[in-house]
Structure 1
Amino acid sequence: MNLQIVALLGQDGITNGAIYALLALSIVLVFTVTRILLIPQGEFVAFGALTMSVIQNGQRLWVVWLLVALCVAAALMDVVDMLRRKRSRPSMWLPAKLLYAGVMAWLAFSLPLASLPMLLQVILTLALLVPTGPLMYRLVFQPIAGATPLVLLIVSIALHVALVGVGLLVFGPDGARTAPFTDSNPSLGSFNLNSQALWVIGVSIGLIVALYQMFERTLYGKALRAAAMNRMGARLMGISPVFAGKAMFFLAALIGVMSGILIAPITTIYYDSGFLISLKGFVGAIIGGLVSYPVAAIGAVFVGLIESFSTFWASAYKEIIVFVLIIPVLLWRSLTSRHVEDEE
């Protein structure tokens, strides 16, 4: 192994680690606020990549019907809640959901998708998929928000299985790749850099900085932090747990879809590829103890580097090597943490 191979493996590892860091952060964000371990996080990644591919190939955007179905179902649940609470006026969000679904369906089947500029293709992909995050929370998790973490985990796994089936139905079994954002490959001395890798790292850093600014500087961010630290206290202070849950699922969907768009030009994505990608982000989240954002991000980058160098030394065992990392981390946390058993 020479210096150039080390640089190539390091570039791939940091690129993958940047994506895993984003997914680890989204998993930690959702878990700390809602106590939900978001197993379907990977489906946002796969759907984002495959939707971008469908748009670039000028094919039918059947995934829009997922958005329409979720909007209609959420609107029906809002009507049921309105009747149950005996309110005479519906919420302003009820017609907005139906209007948004109709507009997106019209755009999906009327626009010349393949000839759109790259930026508009990315915006359309985000507009189609990111709203499904809070809609899924409204339909699946909001009615059982007070359930135990085990019940929430079981429901999360069930949602993951359902979305994998939806992905197979909508996108088919074939994999897809998309065009890179830029064709130029800058060089650093004698080492050529991958322009798409630079996009991945740059956008990942931008999203992480934006999330930090939001949670540290804005009122909504501080409200979400309060909900994460003390749910009951936040509720007594007027912070809605429903808003917090929907906001976290919106951020998780945004991060997942954007990650899929970023990695689609680098690797072939299939309808079921998201689970393995998010599982590696979950390893990073475990390193952070599902509570520490910086440690989770650093752990995810470490996972990316381990995976990259394992591909060179033992490619047949790279997945095993990555997931075995969980064992010493869990052992160390078990030995260093102090638990106080609840009294009967």
Structure 2
Amino acid sequence: MDSTIIFILLQDGILNGAVYALLGLALVLVFVVTRVVFIPQGEFVAYGALTLAFMVNGKVPGTVHLLLIVGIVVFLAEVLSAVRNKDWSKMPKTIGWSLVLPGALYFAAPMVVSTTTPLWINVLFSLALVIPLGPMLYRLVYQPIAEASVLVLLIISVAVHFVLTGLGLVFFGAEGWRTPAFLDGDVQLGSVTWSAQTFFVLGTCVALIIVLWLFFGKTLYGRALRATAVNRRGARLVGISTNMSGSLTFTLAAAIGALSGMLIAPVTTIYYDTGFLIGLKGFVAAIVGGMVSYPLAAAGALFVGILEAFSSFWASAYKEVIVFTLIIPVLMWRSFGTVHTDDEE
């Protein structure tokens, strides 16, 4: 192995690691706010990538129909809740985000979908289709059991993963897709040629991390999420709605997952079930950070990406085994310094 091969593998590792870093941040965010180990995070990666792939090829994505169906189910669930609680004050807002928004996107899709539509419009429309699925998923599945134990929430997450994978097969099919690169061309750095797409992915990841840092540090809703993450009971006592926090958290997780899928789709063929493995690698990064530390999760993600790249060169048949085996020493190391505490009532 010469220096040229090392730099090529390093480029691939950094590219993948940047995407895993975003997924790791999303997993940590969901866990610290809602105590949910969000296994289905990878499905949003696949949904985002496949939705964009369908659109750039001039096809109406299945997400259009899926969002409309899920929106109707959410509306019915809210109606039942309003009847049971005799409180109809939230219905106008519910109608807006569960019926009007999916309906508007459903009728707008045939006008937007075309092989001549600019890529950035396809990206924005794809995000608009995928992101609402996050809060809808929280409302249907996790909000009714928000106070359940972490183990119960984990089991539910595994079930949701299988459901979303099956829905992905139904609405997208079994064919693999790729999307065009956001930036074409190469950048020469020394003796190694770096693709412009790599710098675009890195720049997007850095920009998104900065936006999230500003959101959590400078906005009211961001501080509300931080308060909920520190102490759920204390947040409720000062008037912060844990339902709002959970819904907003899942919205951010869906946005990060969908955008991550779009970033990685130009270099990886995406199938309906591809997101699971990608999400698991983000989970490995989150485990490195102890599911609570954003900087450690980002550092762990870069290490996972680089380890995967070099493993694919030395032992391509075992690269997944090598990456996932990394969890074992990390968990052992963390178990030695962890003090057991009971779940908050």
TM-score, normalised by the number of residues in structure 1: 0.97
Counterparts of 1:153 and 1:112 in 2: how far apart (Å)? 37
Which amino acid is 1:44 matched to? F
Farther off after superposition, 66-75 or 250-259:
66-75
Counterparts of 2:250 and 2:27 in 1: how far apart (Å)? 10
Which amino acid is 1:310 matched to? S
Q: Output one character per residue of 1:38-68: Cα deviation in whole Å (capped at 9) or x when no partner.
A: 1110000011111111001111322211110
Q: Output one character per residue of 1:82-134: Cα deviation in whole Å (capped at 9) or x when no partner.
A: 11111355532122021111100001123342211011000010000011000
Q: Percent identity?
A: 52
Deviation at 1:341?
7.3
Aligned to 2:45: 45
Deviation at 1:287?
0.6
Which amino acid is 1:216 matched to? G
Aligned to 1:212: 213
Aligned to 2:110: 109
Deviation at 1:330?
0.8
Deviation at 1:315?
1.1
SS at 2:140 equivalent: helix
Contact 2:24 2:283 (8 Å CA) reproduced: yes
Counterparts of 1:131 and 1:114 in 2: how far apart (Å)? 25
Counterparts of 1:254 and 1:322 in 2: how far apart (Å)? 25
Counterparts of 1:320 and 1:180 in 2: how far apart (Å)? 29
Counterparts of 1:341 and 1:211 in 2: how far apart (Å)? 30
Aligned to 2:129: 128
Deviation at 1:184?
1.6
4+ residue runs of structure 1 moved beyond 4 angstroms? none
Judged with a 3 Å threshold, the aligned counterparts in structure 2 of structure 1 residues 88 and 163 are, in CA distance, closer, same or farther, namely closer
Aligned length: 342
- The answer on 1:8 being equivalent to 2:8 is yes
Counterparts of 2:149 and 2:31 in 1: how far apart (Å)? 13
Which amino acid is 1:98 matched to? L
Contact 1:42 1:276 (8 Å CA) reproduced: yes
SS at 2:91 equivalent: coil
Aligned to 1:82: 82
Counterparts of 1:133 and 1:28 in 2: how far apart (Å)? 16
Contact 2:59 2:113 (8 Å CA) reproduced: no
Counterparts of 2:275 and 2:192 in 1: how far apart (Å)? 31
Which amino acid is 1:289 matched to? G
Contact 1:129 1:253 (8 Å CA) reproduced: yes
Which amino acid is 1:117 matched to? P
* Runs (5+) with no aligned partner, structure 2: none
Q: Output one character per residue of 1:261-281: Cα deviation in whole Å (capped at 9) or x when no partner.
A: 111111101100000001011
Q: Output one character per residue of 1:115-170: Cα deviation in whole Å (capped at 9) or x when no partner.
A: 11011000010000011000100011111111111111111111110111111111
Which amino acid is 1:323 matched to? F
Aligned to 1:34: 34
- The answer on 1:21 being equivalent to 2:32 is no
Q: Output one character per residue of 1:222-278: Cα deviation in whole Å (capped at 9) or x when no partner.
A: 111110010000000000000100011001000000001111111101100000001
Q: Output one character per residue of 1:4-30: Cα deviation in whole Å (capped at 9) or x when no partner.
A: 111111111011000101000000000
Which amino acid is 1:75 matched to? F
Counterparts of 1:236 and 1:15 in 2: how far apart (Å)? 43
Judged with a 3 Å threshold, the aligned counterparts in structure 2 of structure 1 residues 154 and 338 are, in CA distance, closer, same or farther, namely closer
Matches within 5 A, 1:250-329: 250-329=251-330
Deviation at 1:183?
1.7
Farther off after superposition, 54-63 or 303-312:
54-63
SS at 1:100 equivalent: helix
Aligned to 1:330: 331
Matches within 5 A, 1:214-229: 214-229=215-230
Counterparts of 1:234 and 1:94 in 2: how far apart (Å)? 24
Counterparts of 2:324 and 2:341 in 1: how far apart (Å)? 29
Contact 1:288 1:294 (8 Å CA) reproduced: yes
